[in-house]
Structure 1
Amino acid sequence: MIAIIKYNAGNIKSVQNALFRLGVESIVTDDEKAIRNADKIIFPGVGEAGSAMFYLQERGMDTLLKSLTQPFLGICLGLQLMCKHSEEGNTNCLNIFEVEVRKFPPTEIVPHMGWNTIYDLEGEIFKNNAGNEDVYFVHSYYADLCESTSATCNYILPFSAALHKDNFYATQFHPEKSADVGEKILKSFIEL
């Protein structure tokens, strides 16, 4: 069973639908027992960092999420909240990945929306992917490159398209909206 973390951030239905297409059962929950008992965790999100962190802190979920030992996948806002700090609302985040989240400079079209290529893929969630792959992004903030970077993308500047540390994985892009490439990534995560 995969637990999809409920924390008032959007995009949960598309993740559920992607898992359903892969034949995987999931629940959407913020219940500590259900989360601890799940085989795997997905932490998706579309929204604003400050209000999302407030929701997590108010329920003690910030401490819970950092303590989990099963495979854990953050998506989009989920990745950003797993970082140290976000410029969005000057928000202290979960600090699973010791990296800053910054706003793209206003020199190009922001948000970064649409298909873009990821490269330098590393780690188990990319084991079924060939190399440079096109995936779907929607974001105005990005995580810097760091020692946890497991995939890179370039939009205005190079940034972390994916992060990995221990049992924690995260993608800035949306694998659930990235067609066959994203399906392979989700399948690899499910097989961990």
Structure 2
Amino acid sequence: MSTGELRKELAMMGVNADDCEDRTDLERKVTRIRRGNFLEGQVKTSSDAGGYLTKKRGELPSVSVTASDSQESKAGAFDQAMHQSVEEQRAQASKFDATIQGQLDHLKSKGQRVFDLLEYPCDHEIKIVGAKESDIEDNVRAIIGGITGADPKSLVTSSREKGKWVSVSVMAPVQSSDMLYDCYSKLQAERSFRYVI
């Protein structure tokens, strides 16, 4: 749906769309309202029908719509969410919502760092791409061996040459996430390395 169609739909629902900054905010608001309207009522039959809808020819069935306690609390939470500003809604958005909207920046997030989630000690594979002219494999072994305390000659490496680039994979025996981050920072500081993955 276009932005104009979303605004029209919100207007038909009696909701002000002025606080929505972009199309994503409009879509989120319409989706929440649709979900709220769907959950708002529960259909119950009249007691004289014995639990079934009954009707005579040409007559509408006898139906009463009531909201249960859990649905009322959901509707209350929904109304509260609808009156929040866009900034408050974004602050309460899940990590999934932020990822979908492209707002997740791991450097600014307040959660754990990626390598904090690994179990230590472990052997972590680090891949480096550099120019063919440099002695990249020995440099990588020296840097990682110096940080981890392992003998540089004992580190398991594999290399692959293609064109003017060399790709080297090293199994780094790290004891903690800080040690792994040190390996990456020292390798990325080396000018002869093109990529460190």
State the TM-score, normalizing by the size of structure 1. Answer: 0.25
- Greater share of helix: 2
- Considering only CA atoms, is the larger Rg found in Structure 1 or Structure 2? 2
- Greater share of strand: 1
